Structure 1
Amino acid sequence: MSVSFRILGSSSSGNCALLQTAHTKVLLDAGFSAKRIEQMLESIGESIDSIDAVFLTHEHGDHAQGLRGLAKRSDLPVYANRDTADAVQAKYCRKRVNWQHFQTGTAFPFRDLRVRSFRLPHDAFDPVGFTFSWGEEGDLFARPGSLAWITDLGYVPAHVREHIREVDTLVIEANYDEELLERDERRPWSIKQRIRGRHGHLSNSATYEALEAILPQSRLQKVYLGHLSKDCNNVALVQEKFAGLGDKLSVEVVDPEIGTSPAMLKQAI
């Protein structure tokens, strides 16, 4: 079974990725306008009409604004917990979204995917991360693999570390460089405190320290570092910070302006 993954875009301005298995294509978040998401998909030979579902982490615009336009597809299921769905419906959508509610912390199937949600420490109504897994041990045609989508969080609590340990591929934020944030003159002190807080975002150092602690007892093979701030971080700084992990696993920094090239996940998955 061929499974591919591509981050269409990831930064403080917008986040969206495409996960494709033999039997389904799903978007992880919809943090760009619907028109922009359609253009991104068309640029890689895909169509919004081929998307089977959207999985939504929380209601902030850089993860959810695309629902304003995507809601016109009444047959497109959008998976979110109830608090997130209510917030997005009220803020962005005139048309009723085809909401598929789940309870945070539960697991459920979607076609050939097994999905698990878990709470993240972030300043939203009920923000979540997801793990997606597929395939079966011993099946030559559907070999197992897994991915975690963990974007916005102020720190990495124990239960999140456990979810990371269980997957092959991880997407996690490296949002800001501490010195660049401190020197930034456009953000008031209150915003800086929010970003640095336990319900804000992860700095480069915080993400590095978490991964360094998790790696020895994990099955991680690939890490994507995303959600970079365009003002308080850059690709070169993140690459330099995480160079020391390169001999332990594959690390890719997601350029805020580009996204990633297609990746075949875990064997000819």
Structure 2
Amino acid sequence: MPGFGIAEAAGVGLDGRERPSEDVVVVLPEAVILLDGASTLREDLPSGGSYARELGAQLAGRLTAAPEIDLAQHVAAAIRSVARHNGFTPGESPSSTVSIVRWDDTTVEALVLCDSPVAVFLADAVEVVADDRLRSLPPGGYRGRLSRGEGFGAGHCEALQASGDRLDQFRNTEGGFWVAEAVPAAAHQAVRASWPLADVRAVLMASDGVSCGVDDYGIFSWEDMRSLAASAGPQAVLDAVREAEKSDPDGQRWPRVKPHDDQALVYLDFS
């Protein structure tokens, strides 16, 4: 098994209050699973975190029992099982991103469904496996409010609700975005990549509460993130992202869903 480090930190809920993290990391002998349960304003559904924990347990059991089966098949079966067990139906279910890195004696492979990217460091390059379909959709109106300096608060929650209602029509549909929810076929829309094991030096797996440091805040590159994680540990990366957010407490410079998102970062050292 490669050397590894993990750091996790809870953010805040959509109401700005502290609550347990909805990110989930599962480490297996030859795989790592990272899930980011989606926050929701709906009180009639379980939290995204509870969904992610149940989905993670399903995936862990399936990957352990049948490591030879294709990753997308495992994800589809896990989504189906969680949906059936809870009576979830499309549009009436919590949801979660899925990122999996799996390796054997010859190959490293990655699967990414929705916005929890995987960065793979080779001898002379970094390849980022990212599912950008959600990010490519028109941004919600809440971003305009924040950029005008109106801040997080009751008006922000109302704007988030309107944005969420708009996104519902794009979830798990062609031309929209794909996520683990109650549609098993979403698993086969994941972004995939693989590499010879001998070529891989390191891997970073990040929930969007960490990858925003690269994609949105620009406080470091993926190479910078790897260097910091290797030298000071993954927690140092999380701390750097938090410090950036604290410098923008009202979300005016970097409009975002909430002041601080949950954070999860896995650093795998194959060298």
TM-score scaled by length of structure 2: 0.33
Give the number of the structure with larger relative contact order, counting CA–CA contacts within 8 Å between residues 6 or more apart: 2
Going by fraction, where is helix more abundant, 1 or 2?
2
